[in-house]
Structure 1
Amino acid sequence: MHDKQRFMLYQGCFLIISFCVLLVGFPIGGSLDLALIHPWVSESGKFLLRDNWYLAELNHRYVKDLIILVYVIFCMLWLASFKLEKLKPLGWSYGYFFWLVILSTSIIGLLKSQSAHACPWNITIPTPQGFLWDFSATKGHCFPGGHAATGFALMTGYFVFRQSDKKRAYFYLVAGLILGFAMGWAQMMRGAHFLSHNLWTAWVIWLVNVGFYLFNYKKFKPASVQHPS
């Protein structure tokens, strides 16, 4: 079986199965979401770590800015490839990486802007016995997880380099998963998102990458092309 056909088969099965798992096992605000976020909610329904410096500034600002810098570097490499002979063989790949990151994170942003799902910190109602979850709250625009998208978008590198540099491809895949989940979990601790928000973020970004990769499969350089150091 040709590599592209095998890839389509595996990814098609993975996307369908993972979609069903998320739909059934991780409904937004479902029992798993509530159980996993419960340790971070006080008895009165307050998220005590909402303004924690490590979560609100280090994670939500500085880590995000650092990852964005990586994407800016790819943009600069792409632009430089129009002038520097050494970079020309990989110019298309660098540009593809940058623009797919922009596209995938923008799609997450668009979905989030149209979402009716509110953030956990906006849907707790204090009661004399503790608090209740109000899933009828109208303050939406909190699904999927925008912050986690910045980390998950690094998975684009897996598709860019899977044919030419397996080690680099898996580095971006693992880095994207670790950073995406870590950034998303930190937002959970603050009360900004449920776990399901971030899992769907990863799924959407993977879907976008699979789709565009299949349309551009032949344009990526094979392993015989050496990467500039």
Structure 2
Amino acid sequence: MSNEVGSALAVTPDTHRTVLRPNAMTHVVMPLAAVLVASFVLMQHYGDLEVSAWLYAAQGHAWALKDAWITEQVIHKLGRNLSIGAGLVVLGLAIASAWKPSLAGLRRPLLRLFVSVALSTILVSLLKKHTGMDCPWDLTRFGGSREFYGLFDARPAGVRASGCFPAGHASAGYAWLALYFFALEVWPRWRYPALGFAVALGMLFGFSQQLRGAHFMSHDVWTAAICWFTALALFVLWPPKKDADAARGRPGAAD
């Protein structure tokens, strides 16, 4: 079985294939503009509160899905565990590539994929501890006990924040935006399906948490941005083998 898996994932070195490179307009400018516009609407013009108010009202003016089996046990807990498991599989394949020739060509992209997924989720977790925003379910208008404060609003002394920004659980899905860059290097024709899968997974995880009252929509937007730009930065700083060899002025070799 292991030989079959290795053969399926094997990358045949092709010195004639040109590795596609990220374009500044489509990979940096457009995503950044989308994040800023979405943030302006959701955070500055209270779109977050309007969306959460609609979700809250639709559930009978309560977070009826907060502890529901599908949102709590399946999408939240099982989804998180499956994402962690997938990350460990990627790491395992990267380690196995050290002695399996059929995986040798995937060593660099697999390692970059694992580091990107791990680093994205860590960055989101660290930011949550320092931004100090409340969750919708914490607010008085949604059945909680706290007043709403924006991301940059000063809080009165003694008012403790929940640390809900960015969205932690959504990062378990959006972290896989790194699959786009993995495919960009290894199987370019699959880069858009990979991108679509990661976006769909992040949206599923994020919307489920919004239904529970755990996050505002802007929290997911910024989580997606963090994951995307982390993956992009790693791809640029840790480029495909051919690009790295070309920068050093020598022909490519098996990694």
Do they fold alike, i.e. is TM over 0.5?
yes
1:121-175 deviation per Cα after TM superposition (whole angstroms, max 9, x unaligned): 111258xxx9997214633210000000000111101012213312432232111
Does the aligned pair in 2 maintain the 1:45–1:124 contact within 8 Å?
no
Amino acid at match of 2:174: F
Partner of 1:166: 188
Q: Does 1:207 find its partner at 2:229? A: yes
* Matches of 1:151 and 1:95, distance apart in 2: 18
Q: Decide which of 194, 213, 217 is 2:239's aligned counterpart.
A: 217
What SS does the corresponding residue of 1:158 show, helix, strand or coil? helix
Aligned sequence identity (%)? 26
CA distance 1:120–1:59, change in 2 (3 Å): same
What amino acid maps onto 1:95 in structure 2?
A: L
Distance 1:16 1:41, change over 3 A: closer
Q: What SS does the corresponding residue of 2:185 show, helix, strand or coil?
A: coil
* Residue 225 of structure 1: aligned partner: none
Higher Cα radius of gyration: 2
Structure 2, unaligned runs of 5 or more? 1-18, 150-158, 244-255
What code does the residue aligned with 1:40 have? L
After the TM superposition, which residues 145-160 of structure 1 pair with which residues of structure 2 at under 5 Å, given as runs?
A: 145-160=167-182
For residues 36-86 of structure 1, the C-alpha deviation after alignment (integer angstroms, 9 at most, x for no partner) is 222332599631221111111111011221222211110110010111111
CA distance in 2, matches of 1:220, 1:150: 30
Moved more, 203-212 or 148-157: 203-212
The DSSP-based 3-state class of the residue aligned with 2:131 is coil
**C-alpha contact 1:46 1:121 (8 A) present in aligned 2:** no
Displacement of 1:102 after TM fit? 0.5
Structure 1 residues 192-219: Cα deviation after superposition (integer angstroms, max 9, x where no partner): 0011100110011111112221222343
Which amino acid in structure 2 is aligned with residue 117 of structure 1? M
Aligned residue among 103, 127, 130 for 1:114:
130
- Does 2:68 align with 1:52? yes
Q: Which residue of 1 aligns with 2:148?
A: 135
SS of 2:66's partner is coil
Distance in structure 1 (CA, Å) of the matches to 2:145 and 2:118: 38
Matching of residue 18 in structure 1 with residue 34 in structure 2? yes
- 2:70 and 2:99 map into 1 onto residues whose CA distance is 41
| Match for residue 8 of structure 1 among 17, 20, 24 | 24
User: TM-score of the superposition, structure 1-length normalised?
Assistant: 0.84
Out of 74, 79, 86, which is 1:63 matched to?
Answer: 79
CA RMSD, 1 decimal:
2.6
Residues matched between the structures, number:
215
Is the CA contact (8 Å cut-off) linking 1:78 and 1:94 kept in structure 2?
Answer: yes
Contact conserved, 1:82 with 1:88, CA < 8 A, in 2? Answer: yes
CA distance in structure 2 between the partners assigned to 1:115 and 1:218 by the alignment: 35
Secondary structure of 1:196's partner? helix
